[in-house]
Structure 1
Amino acid sequence: MQEKDAVSLLTPSVKELQRVLYGGKRFGNHVDEVWPNLLIGDMSVANDRYSLWKLGITHVVNVAHGRMYSQGSHDFYGPTVDYYGVPADDSPSFDLSRYFFPSAEYIQNALDTNGAQVLVHCAVGVSRSASLVLAYLMIHHHYTLLEAINKVKERRWIFPNKGFLKQLCALDKKLHIRNSHQE
């Protein structure tokens, strides 16, 4: 069996992933801690500086940067919160994959900071932000896509759009190949 074929068997299809994502609870809080000191949230919590202060948020990744309903910016949060903006559309045709590695690096560097609390958000906190958190877990914690989905689903209902799932599948395959060469 070719190496690529073996890797394809390890990564579920988009349809199989959607079945997994549909399972479990189908409602969410405004914000949930899905990994130690890493939270996924929606725009209502991200646009509420008092809530962020109460949560102890030190870093914000806004995956809806520059969108009309998203107030996030360096000016909005002030000097106590480090801000990273990703100008993503929640559209299956949007190439979110170009942000997988830079966002994962930002999140890891933030979490390496003593006392950090990182909020990753978009509008609803189920597609764009969830996709970048899944990519982070895959890149920095060597989870497969399915393992990352199941880990996040323990704490939050997520549903990346079909295009993002395809991009995450491609990342999963790429990481499988890279990791098999390092063993």
Structure 2
Amino acid sequence: MNNMQDSSYTPPSVKELQKVLFGGKRFGNHLDEVWPNLFIGDMSVANDRYSLWKQGITHVVNAAHGRMYCQGSHDFYGPSVDYYGVPADDSPTFELSGYFFPAADYIRNALNADGVRVLVHCAVGVSRSASLVLAYLMIHHGYTLLDAIGKVKERRWIFPNGGFLRQLRALDVKLRKK
């Protein structure tokens, strides 16, 4: 982890990031713990309330809120799970960056409490949800984008689309200038 503030820092290009992302294992479980008490998952686990209960999930961030097959909501999970929806399309033209700080703050605030386990999911659990978790690690733990990718890839194969990678690169540059 590099907490040094370096105004000359330039993250790798999207093409270089995609090469890094493409390497390693190319499969994921339905649910992987990628940071203490922070999980990335797909819609099959997110739609299985019993499975979430068994895993002790207390908070759900749905990065595909309102999209087909990802119909999670406050009503779906009931009072035992806190729900946060991000209505993102997995499209390179979708502007996900507007959700980076609110979602990262939600995750941080949740994880600051005892006994909390947070699931961030989308349809497949490799692009939208992964992008929000990467942003969280960058914003609240000082990781560069490349370091955040490396940290998550230790536990789960992820592959944010090119548009999300561009937005994460811009976030990386912005955070390094602060």
Regarding TM over 0.5, the answer is yes
Q: Give the SS at the match of 1:136.
A: helix
Indicate yes or no: 2:94 matched with 1:89. Answer: no
Q: Distance between the aligned counterparts of 2:171 and 2:71, measured in 1?
A: 30
Q: Which runs of 5+ in 2 are unaligned?
A: 1-5
Q: Distance between the aligned counterparts of 1:68 and 1:157, measured in 2?
A: 23
Partner of 2:3: none
Q: Distance between the aligned counterparts of 1:70 and 1:132, measured in 2?
A: 16
Q: Which runs of 5+ in 1 are unaligned?
A: 179-183
Q: Distance between the aligned counterparts of 2:9 and 2:80, measured in 1?
A: 43
Partner of 1:45: 45
Question: Number of residues paired by the alignment?
Answer: 173
Q: Distance between the aligned counterparts of 1:169 and 1:45, measured in 2?
A: 29
Q: How does 1:21-170 map to 2 (within 5 A)?
A: 21-170=21-170
Q: Give the SS at the match of 2:24.
A: coil
Q: Give the SS at the match of 2:90.
A: coil
- What's the TM-score once normalised by structure 2's chain length? 0.96
Q: Distance between the aligned counterparts of 2:118 and 2:177, measured in 1?
A: 30
Q: Distance between the aligned counterparts of 2:177 and 2:86, measured in 1?
A: 27
Which one has a bigger Cα radius of gyration?
1
CA drift of 1:15 comes to 0.6
Q: Distance between the aligned counterparts of 1:105 and 1:76, measured in 2?
A: 23
More helix by percentage: 1
- What's the TM-score once normalised by structure 1's chain length? 0.93
State the superposition RMSD in angstroms.
0.8
Q: Give the SS at the match of 1:69.
A: coil
Q: Distance between the aligned counterparts of 2:143 and 2:90, measured in 1?
A: 24
Q: Give the SS at the match of 1:7.
A: coil
Percent of pairs identical after alignment?
80
Q: Give the 4+ runs in structure 1 shifted more than 6 A.
A: none
CA drift of 1:7 comes to 2.4
CA drift of 1:115 comes to 0.2
Deviations 1:63-89 (A, max 9, x none): 000012112000000000000000000
Deviations 1:121-153 (A, max 9, x none): 000000000000000000000000000000000
CA drift of 1:113 comes to 1.2
